Structure 1
Amino acid sequence: MRTYIGTHQVLSAVEFEELALGFDELPAGIDRDLFRGPLTRESSEERAARLDVAREVIKDLAAQGGGGDEIAAWDALYADALTRTVPFLRAARAAGRSAQAGEVAA
């Protein structure tokens, strides 16, 4: 089965996301997990360090955007939005734990 968005054939999940949502990829070497968090557990120290780095990257991208780089400005907005998301698998695991806790308490 083939997937098309407009007249463009989508070849990967990342390409689908870019075309469907209108987002470009983040600059080379920047991982989405830096902003949204990993699918696996992370300690509170790891989370704090990751978020510190993410804030610095967003700050740098926003500064580049303020200097006239439109792509960097959009990347800063996208990265900032990712910091407020939770990967689906992690959210599903958390929901499963809260449902089990509710059953035990009942």
Structure 2
Amino acid sequence: MRSYIGTQEVLDAVEFEELALGFDDLPAGIDRDLFRGPLDPEAPEERAAREDVAREALAELRERGAGGDEVAAWDALYAEALTRTVPFLRAAARTGRSARTGEAA
């Protein structure tokens, strides 16, 4: 079965998310890792630079959203949610655990 968003055929889950949430509209080179950070440890200088760029991109999305661009407003909300996932992901990576470990999994 094929999936389409608009006239674009969706080939994988990442592409579906990008097309559905409008992340194709973000400036070139910006992706989810910009907002959530890598799972692997990063140098303090790299983290500071990434967070600076993420803040600028988020400010731009908010500004466009306030100007009436609904897709940019949703992108800003999504990016903000990604920034809140960082502590959990890093904690899981440090301990070597995944979200699916334990008796309930």
CA distance in 2, matches of 1:93, 1:12: 25
Larger Rg: 1
Checking the alignment, whether the CA contact within 8 Å between 2:66 and 2:73 is kept in structure 1 is yes
Per-residue CA shift, 1:46-67, capped at 9, x if unaligned?
1122111101110111001101
Checking the alignment, whether the CA contact within 8 Å between 2:39 and 2:93 is kept in structure 1 is no
CA distance in 1, matches of 2:51, 2:65: 21
Q: Which runs of 4+ in 1 moved over 2 A?
A: 22-26, 86-93
Q: Which amino acid aligns with 1:74?
A: W
- Percent identity between matched residues is 64
Checking the alignment, whether the CA contact within 8 Å between 2:40 and 2:93 is kept in structure 1 is no
Structure 1 alignment gaps of length 5 or more: 98-106
Q: Secondary structure at the residue paired with 2:84? A: coil
CA distance in 2, matches of 1:88, 1:80: 15
How many pairs were matched up? 89
Q: Secondary structure at the residue paired with 1:39? A: coil
1:11 aligns with 2:11: yes
CA distance in 2, matches of 1:46, 1:69: 31
1:56 aligns with 2:56: yes
Q: CA deviation at 1:34?
A: 0.7
Structure 2 alignment gaps of length 5 or more: 4-8, 98-105
How does the TM-score come out when normalised to structure 1?
A: 0.64
Checking the alignment, whether the CA contact within 8 Å between 2:2 and 2:10 is kept in structure 1 is yes
